[in-house]
Amino acid sequence: MPKIRAATAADVPLVLDFIRDLAAYERLLHEVEATEEKLHATLFGPRPAAECILAFTEVGTPAGFAVFFTNYSTFLAKPGIYLEDLFVTPEHRGHGIGKALLLHLAKLANERGCGRMEWAVLDWNQPAIEFYESLGAERKQDWTICRLTGDRLARYA
């Protein structure tokens, strides 16, 4: 059974490694601007923007992580959890680690009175889609993600 725990500031180098591994898997390594300093500030600074949980094998080997934050549903008038990233190292996939991370977050969502938990998945990542659907997740195919980043976002500052 995997062990799940909240990340601490001492775990930032491991979190950054997981972020880079995830980005490489998603073919987006060129977009990673995260540094240990930025992660310390945004995960453990005075106003944390997100939380992180880590998964370890039974013998204590780091095996995966999830980064999430609180969002809000006006329709439900309740907070929710948005799962930004979920990653399990290739050698540890198929051993229940991803499921343990998601179930941990679902438990947190229930404890915090959340009305929902949601996330995005790349449309080409069929193994992930099948995994999420096997847990009962519903794909919202009628919604499209819109995003402003970098210079496009800065132009409105």
List, in order, residues 6 or more apart from 105 with CB less than 8 Å away: 53, 66, 68, 81, 83, 117
- Of 25, 82, 132, 156, catalytic: 132
Mapped onto helix, strand or coil, the DSSP state of residue 154 is helix
Place of tokens 């005075």: 46
Helix (H) or strand (E) segment spanning residue 80: strand 78-88
Q: Is 156 a catalytic residue?
A: no
As a whole number of angstroms, the distance between CA 71 and CA 68 comes to 9
Annotated catalytic residues are 132
